[in-house]
Amino acid sequence: MTMVTDSSVVPGIGRIGDPGEVEPAEFGHLSEFFDPFLVPFAIDTLRVGGEVWVSRSEVGIDGLFLYVASERFGSIFTLSPAIAEAFSTFHPGASIFSDFPFGPSSEVFGMYRASLDDSPDPHRYSHRVRAAEESDRDDVLGLMRNVHGVVDERWFASLLREGETCFVVDGASELAGTGWVSVAGRSARLHSLTVRPRYRRTGVGTDLWQARVAWARNAGARDVLTEISDHNLPSRAIAEAGGMRRVGEIYRSVRA
Ligand SMILES: CC(C)(COP(=O)(O)OP(=O)(O)OC[C@H]1O[C@@H](n2cnc3c(N)ncnc32)[C@H](O)[C@@H]1OP(=O)(O)O)[C@@H](O)C(=O)NCCC(=O)NCCS
């Protein structure tokens, strides 16, 4: 791997500048939950113009830091508190996900997981859920901005991506809801479930959850995970009703 090392930052930490430099074999065990997704995360971050930093030791990559300046949002993956601490100082004021909390005001996100080995319970859909097409791109982006505010549109350059599917539910004249599912090997991850406020409490979120789990199962995943803020009671209710159980936690912190 060619790395742009910057020893003025921290020895052993360097920046990757191109997706071709992301070599899966070099990634060690960095996360109890996200190991299968780290390579796609890194490539996606580079695709949207973000920063990818790695920490290296003699055993390979032992820390990964992904950062997107437009959203002031980053994620640290490492088992080492010292490496996490080093990465956390790179962008003061940014919102950083990590296995380690930085400071007392961190927001706790529960990690929820379900096994897909058992036969699924039948689900009676209230809405028609469909896989998004490229022509839905502007509507999906509009929905995400309506609910989440600042969203970097480069994440949505393509809705049709290998290993990931975006699902949507149509409303009367606009999209009612959307959500993504990624599959890497035998693991699946649900993310970005979003329902437009006026369509909430009608089962859209539950239907999107069920459709994504069914897709993951058909794609060969044997377990599915998602991260949910402890403040997000609706999402927890949907995940738990779908058989997910809390298996750990991560933190979102803002480094002073
Ligand atoms: C979380 C979210 C997707 C839920 O979507 P939804 O379509 O309203 O969910 P459902 O109608 O399927 O609700 C399913 C169950 O969740 C629970 N629930 C939903 N909203 C709730 C609320 N505001 N308070 C408490 N429980 C709630 C209820 O048990 C509900 O079942 P019920 O309506 O039969 O009582 C939606 O609130 C949303 O988009 N929030 C903002 C974005 C977000 O937080 N996304 C999740 C990121 S992990």
pLDDT, tens only, 34-66: 999 999 999 999 999 999 999 999 889 999 999
Q: Which two tokens stand for residue 207?
A: 């239907």
Choose among 56, 26, 57, 58: nearest CA to 39. 26
Among protein residues, the one whose CA lies closest to atom 8 of ligand 1 = 200
Q: How far is the CA of 201 from the centre of ligand 1 (A)?
A: 6
Q: Is the pTM of this model over 0.85?
A: yes
4 pLDDT above the threshold of 70: no
Q: Which of 169, 195, 209 to mutate to test the pocket of ligand 1 (most atoms within 8 A of CB)?
A: 195
Which atom of ligand 1 is the closest one to the Cα of 209? 12
* Architecture of the domain whose range is 113-248: 3-Layer(aba) Sandwich (3.40)
Evaluated on CA atoms 126, 131, 134, 137, the torsion sign reads positive
Q: How many residues are there in the chain?
A: 256
Around ligand 1, the residues with Cβ closer than 6 Å are 147, 193-195, 200-206, 228, 232-235, 237-238
Among protein residues, the one whose CA lies closest to atom 10 of ligand 1 = 203
Q: How far apart are CA 246 and CA 215, in angstroms?
A: 22
Q: How far is the CA of 197 from the centre of ligand 1 (A)?
A: 10
User: Model confidence over 93-111: pLDDT tens digits?
Assistant: 999 999 999 877 899 999 9
Q: How far apart are CA 82 and CA 148, in angstroms?
A: 32
Sequence-distant (6+) residues with CB within 8 A of 88 are 76, 96, 98, 102, 253, 255
For the chain, percent of residues with pLDDT exceeding 70? 96
